Amino acid sequence: MTPNPQTRADAATAGLTVVGSMLVGAAVGYGLGSLAGLAIPVGLIGLFAGLVGGLIGVYARYKRL
């Protein structure tokens, strides 16, 4: 069988996955940081944790392409 060719939708999905995970990570970090009085620093940590998580998710989904 031949693999399906890559489409623009795959690229858009990959980009939105990374951006979405960054936003979720930042929101969770900000929320948890607000409880401790460190909203901005913990929010930034969540942002970068979301970036790493999003990149890992995209790699896991598209590693066969």
**pLDDT above 80 (res 3):** no
DSSP, collapsed to helix, strand or coil, labels residue 45 as: helix
pLDDT at 16: 94
**pLDDT above 90 (res 10):** no
CB 42 within 8 A of CB 36: yes
pLDDT digits (tens, 9 = 90+) for 17-63: 999 999 999 999 999 999 999 999 999 999 999 999 999 999 998 88
The whole-angstrom separation of Cα 50 and Cα 45 is 9
